[in-house]
Amino acid sequence: MLICFFTLVAVLSGYSVSQEVCADQLGAVQCRLLSLQDACRIRRTEMLLSCAKTCDLCATGRSLPCFDISAASCSSYVVLGLCEQFKDSLENTCRLSCGWCTVDPCVKRLDKMNFHGNDSIQFECPKGCLAKKENLWGSGIYTEHSSICAAAIHDGRIKDAAGGSVTVYKLVGMMSYIGILRNKIRSKPFKNFERSFAFEDMCVKQVDQINFHHKNSFQFPFACPKGCSANRLWGSGIYTDDSYICAAAIHDGRIKNAGGTFTVYKLGGMKSYLGTLRNGITSTKYNKFSGSFAFEDWCKKQADQLTLWKGTSAHFLCPPGCGNKEEINLWGSYPYTGDSYICAAALHHGVITDETGGPVIVTKTWGPKSYKGSKKNGITSKTRDGSCLKPFRVEQNIQ
């Protein structure tokens, strides 16, 4: 292999990419399609001659390739301190590792960087990168062919007016990437990509570390990488907001160990949290805590969405604040129709308060031919006719 590499160095040592070559010989559209298929990384030598501009293989101010022909061999030259000694031979083949590239840092991408065996590196972003934000896919976790500085602004790590230093963590690929507008940059969604990066260890991210700008109720998209094994977790279905989000998502069945994307709902604090074993992860029970989160809006959960047969019961946990919803679906006055919100029924029947929420018992039962609405405990239910509406009762769960 080393002989082959020296042969390649010899062939390319005198090769200079002309201004004509330093363009998209295949055309911008075709090169763009190839770049989205990761051809810029996998087929670099070929793409140097056909799609140099799209693949960002041209150094600023010079018509030379800004990449490594062989990352492993070039890293060896760096470790041995031989870049300057063999500069004439390596200038066209190891410019990235040897630090001879002058690519605009605003458009620098992870696939153009050498981590030298480390899992993270420091990167310095200049000010003014907001104007060069075209290449950005993902949110929180980004595809490796995204601009690092655009991602850093999007993720709130730096401000465009000042720039700054960020820590970049390389990650395995995701099945999908979220596209959202944040900090004046709109990222794009993307499907399956081989490698990713983030600016922190997403496996240990907590909801209480996220700025909600004083909002008590909020929902946001989130992505977890592959292999999140750290387990700091209190609750089941509803979790304390100092629990690890990714551990909770696996525990709740939202993702598997391969990672994935989902929506997180910020909730108020609970009087108590259940501890259970689910999907290979054990959560711990906990008493009163100031903040919570879940992966769906539990205030809008309906009784007919639970797997129950007539005469059977299930435990359910209502978060605080369910009485403040703009729209409350509730029919009847005990029992209630199956498409009614469980927590609204619990508030109406007086088994929980809106301030604290709490655990309840939901029982599927036999119902009347009609359901009469009423106003109780600040909640108004509606009247409805029909005898086959999957009725339920809700009672206090005394723990």
Residues making up the chain, counted from first to last:
399
pLDDT at 127: 92
pLDDT number for residue 118: 75
Q: Structural domains in the chain? A: 14-100 (no CATH), 104-200 (2.170.130.20), 203-294 (2.170.130.20), 299-396 (2.170.130.20)
User: What is the DSSP-derived secondary structure letter of residue 335?
Assistant: S
pLDDT computed for residue 102 by the predictor: 62
What pLDDT does 83 receive? Answer: 84
Residues 6+ apart with CB under 8 A from 218: 212, 265, 266
Pair of tokens at residue 310: 């007539």
pLDDT at res. 25: 76
Number of neighbouring beta carbons within 10 Å of residue 11: 12
- Strand-pair partners of 273: 286
Centre a 10 Å sphere on the Cβ of residue 205 and count the other Cβ atoms it contains. 18
CA–CA distance, 221 with 233 (Å, rounded to integer): 20
pLDDT for res 49 = 65
Q: What is the pLDDT of residue 26?
A: 79
The answer to whether the beta carbons of residues 92 and 15 sit under 8 Å apart is yes
Mean pLDDT, consecutive 10-residue stretches, the chain (399 aa), reads 40 37 74 80 70 68 56 75 81 74 77 74 91 83 90 94 93 84 90 87 89 64 85 94 95 91 88 92 93 91 90 90 87 93 96 90 89 94 85 84
Note whether 293 and 265 are within 8 A (CB): yes
Structure tokens at 187: 């990222």
Indicate the SS3 state at residue 180. Answer: coil
Compute the distance between CA of residue 139 and CA of residue 250 in angstroms, rounded to an integer: 20
Q: Residues 6 or more apart from 10 whose CB is under 8 A from it?
A: 89
* DSSP helix/strand/coil, 12: helix
* 8 A C-beta contact, residue 227 and residue 246: no
The predicted structure's pLDDT at residue 48: 67
Q: Which of 68, 58, 1 is nearest to 25 (CA)?
A: 58
Residue 172 in tokens: 């395995």
| Residue 126 to residue 244: CA distance in whole angstroms | 33
Burial class (CB in 10 A: 0-12, 13-18, 19+), 349: buried
Residues 274/317, Cβ–Cβ less than 8 Å = yes
| Alpha carbon 85 to chain centroid, angstroms | 44
